[in-house]
Chain A
Amino acid sequence: MLTKPDISLILIVVALILGCYFLFDLSKNIEKFVVVEVDGKTEKNIKLPQNMIFDNHGKDGWLKIEISGRKVRVLDSSCPNKLCVNSGWINKSGESIICLPNRVVIKIVGEEKEFDGITR
Protein backbone atom coordinates (compact mmCIF):
# COMPACT_ATOMS: atom_id res chain seq x y z
CA MET A 1 0.00 0.00 0.00
CA LEU A 2 1.03 3.56 -0.57
CA THR A 3 2.05 5.63 2.42
CA LYS A 4 1.11 9.28 2.83
CA PRO A 5 4.56 10.55 1.74
CA ASP A 6 4.25 8.30 -1.33
CA ILE A 7 0.99 9.92 -2.32
CA SER A 8 2.28 13.44 -1.73
CA LEU A 9 5.34 12.59 -3.81
CA ILE A 10 3.09 11.45 -6.67
CA LEU A 11 1.06 14.64 -6.38
CA ILE A 12 4.24 16.74 -6.46
CA VAL A 13 5.38 14.97 -9.63
CA VAL A 14 1.99 15.52 -11.26
CA ALA A 15 2.17 19.21 -10.30
CA LEU A 16 5.69 19.43 -11.78
CA ILE A 17 4.48 17.87 -15.02
CA LEU A 18 1.62 20.36 -15.28
CA GLY A 19 4.01 23.20 -14.43
CA CYS A 20 6.41 22.10 -17.13
CA TYR A 21 3.66 22.02 -19.72
CA PHE A 22 2.44 25.44 -18.65
CA LEU A 23 5.94 26.92 -18.94
CA PHE A 24 6.44 25.12 -22.23
CA ASP A 25 3.24 26.61 -23.61
CA LEU A 26 4.30 30.09 -22.48
CA SER A 27 7.67 29.71 -24.16
CA LYS A 28 5.90 28.74 -27.38
CA ASN A 29 4.38 32.17 -27.79
CA ILE A 30 6.79 33.03 -30.55
CA GLU A 31 4.93 33.99 -33.69
CA LYS A 32 4.84 31.57 -36.58
CA PHE A 33 3.28 31.85 -40.01
CA VAL A 34 2.16 29.44 -42.67
CA VAL A 35 3.32 30.60 -46.07
CA VAL A 36 1.78 29.14 -49.23
CA GLU A 37 3.80 29.74 -52.38
CA VAL A 38 2.65 28.93 -55.90
CA ASP A 39 5.33 28.90 -58.57
CA GLY A 40 7.66 30.90 -56.31
CA LYS A 41 5.14 33.65 -55.56
CA THR A 42 3.71 34.00 -52.05
CA GLU A 43 -0.03 33.52 -52.20
CA LYS A 44 -0.96 33.34 -48.54
CA ASN A 45 0.61 34.27 -45.24
CA ILE A 46 -1.41 32.97 -42.32
CA LYS A 47 -0.58 33.59 -38.68
CA LEU A 48 -0.64 30.60 -36.33
CA PRO A 49 -2.45 29.27 -34.38
CA GLN A 50 -5.43 28.96 -36.66
CA ASN A 51 -8.17 26.47 -37.41
CA MET A 52 -9.25 26.41 -41.03
CA ILE A 53 -9.56 24.29 -44.15
CA PHE A 54 -9.22 26.02 -47.50
CA ASP A 55 -8.61 25.28 -51.15
CA ASN A 56 -5.62 26.77 -52.87
CA HIS A 57 -5.12 26.64 -56.63
CA GLY A 58 -1.83 25.29 -57.93
CA LYS A 59 -0.22 25.58 -61.35
CA ASP A 60 -2.68 23.20 -63.01
CA GLY A 61 -4.64 21.84 -60.06
CA TRP A 62 -5.74 22.47 -56.54
CA LEU A 63 -4.85 21.58 -52.97
CA LYS A 64 -7.03 21.31 -49.92
CA ILE A 65 -4.97 22.59 -46.99
CA GLU A 66 -5.87 22.12 -43.35
CA ILE A 67 -4.49 24.26 -40.55
CA SER A 68 -5.23 22.97 -37.08
CA GLY A 69 -3.76 24.91 -34.19
CA ARG A 70 -0.03 25.09 -34.80
CA LYS A 71 0.19 22.41 -37.47
CA VAL A 72 -0.52 22.23 -41.18
CA ARG A 73 -1.16 19.44 -43.67
CA VAL A 74 -2.47 18.87 -47.15
CA LEU A 75 -5.81 17.11 -46.88
CA ASP A 76 -6.25 16.35 -50.55
CA SER A 77 -4.78 17.39 -53.85
CA SER A 78 -5.32 17.01 -57.55
CA CYS A 79 -1.80 15.74 -58.16
CA PRO A 80 -1.32 12.10 -59.21
CA ASN A 81 1.25 10.88 -56.69
CA LYS A 82 -0.17 12.51 -53.51
CA LEU A 83 3.30 13.02 -52.01
CA CYS A 84 2.11 16.24 -50.42
CA VAL A 85 -0.82 14.46 -48.76
CA ASN A 86 1.46 11.71 -47.52
CA SER A 87 3.86 14.23 -45.96
CA GLY A 88 1.39 14.54 -43.09
CA TRP A 89 1.48 17.30 -40.50
CA ILE A 90 4.26 19.86 -40.17
CA ASN A 91 4.56 22.16 -37.17
CA LYS A 92 8.15 23.38 -36.80
CA SER A 93 9.52 26.51 -38.39
CA GLY A 94 11.61 25.59 -41.40
CA GLU A 95 9.53 22.54 -42.23
CA SER A 96 7.74 22.47 -45.56
CA ILE A 97 5.40 20.41 -47.73
CA ILE A 98 6.12 20.52 -51.42
CA CYS A 99 3.72 19.54 -54.18
CA LEU A 100 5.83 19.44 -57.29
CA PRO A 101 3.12 18.79 -59.93
CA ASN A 102 1.17 21.79 -58.65
CA ARG A 103 4.27 23.92 -58.00
CA VAL A 104 3.06 24.62 -54.47
CA VAL A 105 5.27 25.03 -51.41
CA ILE A 106 3.72 25.23 -47.97
CA LYS A 107 6.17 26.19 -45.26
CA ILE A 108 6.24 27.37 -41.69
CA VAL A 109 8.33 30.40 -40.92
CA GLY A 110 8.96 31.90 -37.51
CA GLU A 111 11.46 33.01 -34.96
CA GLU A 112 11.69 29.76 -33.07
CA LYS A 113 15.10 28.16 -33.07
CA GLU A 114 15.35 24.57 -34.18
CA PHE A 115 18.06 21.96 -33.86
CA ASP A 116 19.31 22.43 -37.40
CA GLY A 117 21.56 25.33 -38.14
CA ILE A 118 22.55 26.18 -34.61
CA THR A 119 25.83 24.26 -34.58
CA ARG A 120 28.87 26.45 -34.75
Chain B
Amino acid sequence: MTGLQGKNTGNNNSRIKTIIEISLMVSLGIIIQIIEAPIPRPLPWVKLGMANVITVLSLVFFRLRGAVLISFLRIILVSVLLGSFLSPGFFLSLSGGLMSTFVMGLVLILFSRQFSLVGVSLIGALVHNLTQLGVAYILFLKQLHISWDNILYFLSLMLIWSLPTGLFVGYLARLTLPVFINTRKRVNW
Protein backbone atom coordinates (compact mmCIF):
# COMPACT_ATOMS: atom_id res chain seq x y z
CA MET B 1 0.00 0.00 0.00
CA THR B 2 1.57 3.25 -1.07
CA GLY B 3 -0.79 5.47 0.83
CA LEU B 4 -2.57 8.38 -0.73
CA GLN B 5 0.13 9.67 -3.04
CA GLY B 6 -0.85 8.23 -6.38
CA LYS B 7 1.65 10.50 -8.05
CA ASN B 8 4.53 8.53 -6.54
CA THR B 9 3.63 5.50 -8.58
CA GLY B 10 2.29 7.50 -11.47
CA ASN B 11 -0.29 4.77 -11.64
CA ASN B 12 -3.78 6.14 -11.88
CA ASN B 13 -5.26 2.71 -11.22
CA SER B 14 -3.70 2.29 -7.79
CA ARG B 15 -4.92 5.72 -6.84
CA ILE B 16 -8.46 4.74 -7.72
CA LYS B 17 -8.08 1.48 -5.81
CA THR B 18 -6.92 3.42 -2.76
CA ILE B 19 -9.86 5.79 -3.00
CA ILE B 20 -12.30 2.88 -3.27
CA GLU B 21 -10.72 1.04 -0.35
CA ILE B 22 -10.78 4.15 1.79
CA SER B 23 -14.43 4.74 0.91
CA LEU B 24 -15.23 1.15 1.89
CA MET B 25 -13.51 1.60 5.25
CA VAL B 26 -15.43 4.86 5.83
CA SER B 27 -18.74 3.17 5.00
CA LEU B 28 -17.98 0.22 7.26
CA GLY B 29 -17.18 2.62 10.10
CA ILE B 30 -20.40 4.56 9.50
CA ILE B 31 -22.48 1.38 9.50
CA ILE B 32 -20.91 0.13 12.72
CA GLN B 33 -21.37 3.47 14.45
CA ILE B 34 -24.99 3.83 13.36
CA ILE B 35 -25.82 0.30 14.49
CA GLU B 36 -24.15 1.04 17.81
CA ALA B 37 -25.86 4.40 18.36
CA PRO B 38 -29.29 3.23 19.63
CA ILE B 39 -27.88 0.58 21.98
CA PRO B 40 -28.62 1.66 25.56
CA ARG B 41 -25.60 2.68 27.61
CA PRO B 42 -24.95 2.38 31.32
CA LEU B 43 -23.93 6.06 31.45
CA PRO B 44 -24.42 8.75 28.80
CA TRP B 45 -20.72 9.19 28.08
CA VAL B 46 -19.83 5.50 28.08
CA LYS B 47 -19.60 4.01 24.63
CA LEU B 48 -17.96 0.89 23.28
CA GLY B 49 -16.79 2.71 20.15
CA MET B 50 -16.68 -0.33 17.88
CA ALA B 51 -16.08 1.95 14.89
CA ASN B 52 -12.58 2.34 16.30
CA VAL B 53 -11.92 -1.21 15.11
CA ILE B 54 -12.08 0.30 11.62
CA THR B 55 -9.71 3.08 12.70
CA VAL B 56 -7.18 0.57 13.99
CA LEU B 57 -7.44 -1.52 10.83
CA SER B 58 -7.16 1.63 8.68
CA LEU B 59 -3.91 2.43 10.42
CA VAL B 60 -2.60 -1.01 9.49
CA PHE B 61 -3.68 -0.74 5.84
CA PHE B 62 -3.41 2.98 5.04
CA ARG B 63 -0.92 4.29 7.60
CA LEU B 64 -1.31 7.56 9.47
CA ARG B 65 -2.60 9.88 6.74
CA GLY B 66 -5.18 7.48 5.34
CA ALA B 67 -6.48 6.56 8.77
CA VAL B 68 -6.81 10.18 9.88
CA LEU B 69 -8.73 10.88 6.66
CA ILE B 70 -10.96 7.85 7.22
CA SER B 71 -11.88 8.74 10.79
CA PHE B 72 -12.37 12.40 9.85
CA LEU B 73 -14.84 11.46 7.09
CA ARG B 74 -16.58 8.89 9.29
CA ILE B 75 -17.13 11.29 12.19
CA ILE B 76 -18.41 14.08 9.92
CA LEU B 77 -20.76 11.80 7.97
CA VAL B 78 -22.13 10.00 11.04
CA SER B 79 -22.82 13.31 12.76
CA VAL B 80 -24.69 14.52 9.67
CA LEU B 81 -26.68 11.28 9.52
CA LEU B 82 -27.51 11.26 13.24
CA GLY B 83 -28.15 15.00 13.33
CA SER B 84 -25.45 16.02 15.75
CA PHE B 85 -23.34 17.94 13.23
CA LEU B 86 -21.71 21.06 14.78
CA SER B 87 -23.26 20.28 18.18
CA PRO B 88 -21.04 20.28 21.30
CA GLY B 89 -20.90 16.51 21.22
CA PHE B 90 -19.73 16.62 17.62
CA PHE B 91 -16.67 18.69 18.51
CA LEU B 92 -15.89 16.35 21.37
CA SER B 93 -16.02 13.26 19.18
CA LEU B 94 -14.14 14.96 16.33
CA SER B 95 -11.28 16.09 18.54
CA GLY B 96 -11.15 12.78 20.38
CA GLY B 97 -11.36 10.73 17.21
CA LEU B 98 -8.69 12.63 15.28
CA MET B 99 -6.32 12.85 18.23
CA SER B 100 -6.59 9.15 19.07
CA THR B 101 -6.10 8.17 15.41
CA PHE B 102 -3.05 10.42 15.22
CA VAL B 103 -1.47 9.10 18.41
CA MET B 104 -2.23 5.47 17.52
CA GLY B 105 -0.61 6.07 14.14
CA LEU B 106 2.50 7.50 15.81
CA VAL B 107 2.65 4.54 18.19
CA LEU B 108 2.35 2.12 15.27
CA ILE B 109 5.15 3.92 13.42
CA LEU B 110 7.49 4.25 16.40
CA PHE B 111 6.71 1.24 18.61
CA SER B 112 5.07 -1.34 16.34
CA ARG B 113 7.50 -3.96 17.65
CA GLN B 114 6.66 -3.26 21.27
CA PHE B 115 2.89 -2.90 21.27
CA SER B 116 0.36 -5.30 19.78
CA LEU B 117 -2.85 -4.01 18.22
CA VAL B 118 -4.55 -4.47 21.61
CA GLY B 119 -2.05 -2.16 23.29
CA VAL B 120 -2.28 0.37 20.47
CA SER B 121 -6.06 0.36 20.77
CA LEU B 122 -5.84 0.85 24.53
CA ILE B 123 -3.59 3.87 23.99
CA GLY B 124 -6.13 5.12 21.44
CA ALA B 125 -9.01 4.75 23.90
CA LEU B 126 -7.08 6.62 26.60
CA VAL B 127 -6.10 9.44 24.24
CA HIS B 128 -9.66 9.60 22.91
CA ASN B 129 -11.15 10.07 26.37
CA LEU B 130 -8.46 12.39 27.70
CA THR B 131 -8.73 14.62 24.62
CA GLN B 132 -12.48 14.78 25.04
CA LEU B 133 -12.15 15.65 28.70
CA GLY B 134 -9.59 18.35 27.88
CA VAL B 135 -11.72 19.86 25.12
CA ALA B 136 -14.84 19.66 27.29
CA TYR B 137 -12.92 21.42 30.07
CA ILE B 138 -11.77 24.24 27.79
CA LEU B 139 -15.11 24.65 26.01
CA PHE B 140 -17.65 24.16 28.80
CA LEU B 141 -16.38 23.17 32.21
CA LYS B 142 -13.96 26.07 32.67
CA GLN B 143 -16.79 28.59 32.66
CA LEU B 144 -18.63 26.59 35.30
CA HIS B 145 -15.72 26.81 37.77
CA ILE B 146 -15.99 23.14 38.51
CA SER B 147 -13.73 22.13 41.34
CA TRP B 148 -10.79 19.82 40.88
CA ASP B 149 -12.28 16.87 42.67
CA ASN B 150 -15.08 16.75 40.11
CA ILE B 151 -12.57 16.79 37.25
CA LEU B 152 -10.65 14.06 39.02
CA TYR B 153 -13.84 12.08 39.33
CA PHE B 154 -14.51 12.35 35.58
CA LEU B 155 -10.91 11.44 34.88
CA SER B 156 -11.12 8.28 36.95
CA LEU B 157 -14.41 7.31 35.28
CA MET B 158 -12.87 7.81 31.85
CA LEU B 159 -9.78 5.79 32.73
CA ILE B 160 -11.93 2.98 34.10
CA TRP B 161 -14.06 2.78 30.96
CA SER B 162 -11.13 3.17 28.59
CA LEU B 163 -9.57 0.02 29.90
CA PRO B 164 -12.21 -2.59 28.93
CA THR B 165 -13.40 -0.75 25.80
CA GLY B 166 -9.88 -0.17 24.53
CA LEU B 167 -8.89 -3.77 25.11
CA PHE B 168 -12.11 -5.06 23.53
CA VAL B 169 -11.71 -2.90 20.43
CA GLY B 170 -8.10 -3.97 20.07
CA TYR B 171 -9.07 -7.61 20.44
CA LEU B 172 -11.78 -7.24 17.79
CA ALA B 173 -9.30 -5.54 15.48
CA ARG B 174 -6.89 -8.43 15.86
CA LEU B 175 -9.67 -10.96 15.25
CA THR B 176 -10.87 -9.23 12.09
CA LEU B 177 -7.48 -8.30 10.64
CA PRO B 178 -6.98 -11.72 8.93
CA VAL B 179 -10.48 -11.45 7.45
CA PHE B 180 -9.62 -8.10 5.87
CA ILE B 181 -6.26 -9.36 4.60
CA ASN B 182 -7.83 -12.50 3.11
CA THR B 183 -10.62 -10.57 1.46
CA ARG B 184 -8.12 -8.21 -0.14
CA LYS B 185 -6.14 -11.19 -1.40
CA ARG B 186 -9.19 -12.98 -2.72
CA VAL B 187 -10.53 -9.94 -4.56
CA ASN B 188 -7.02 -9.54 -6.01
CA TRP B 189 -7.45 -6.43 -8.03
Contact = CB atoms under 8 A, between A and B. Distances in A.
Interface stretch (B50-58, B91-99, B112-120): B112-120
Interface of B: 111, 114-116, 118-119, 122-123, 126, 143-150, 152-153, 155-156, 159-160, 162-163, 167
Interface in A68-120: 112-113, 115, 118-120
Q: Which secondary structure dominates where chain A touches chain B?
A: helix
A65 to B, nearest CB: 27
A118 B119 CA distance: 40
The 7 closest A-B pairs by CB, nearest first: A20-B156, A6-B119, A27-B149, A5-B114, A118-B145, A17-B159, A113-B147
A10 B126 CA distance: 11
Given A9-B122, A27-B152, A118-B145, A16 B115 contact: no
Nearest to A30: B149
Nearest to B125: A13
Contact of A3 (B115, B153, B162): B115
A28 B152 CA distance: 11
A13 B159 contact: yes
B92 to A, nearest CB: 18
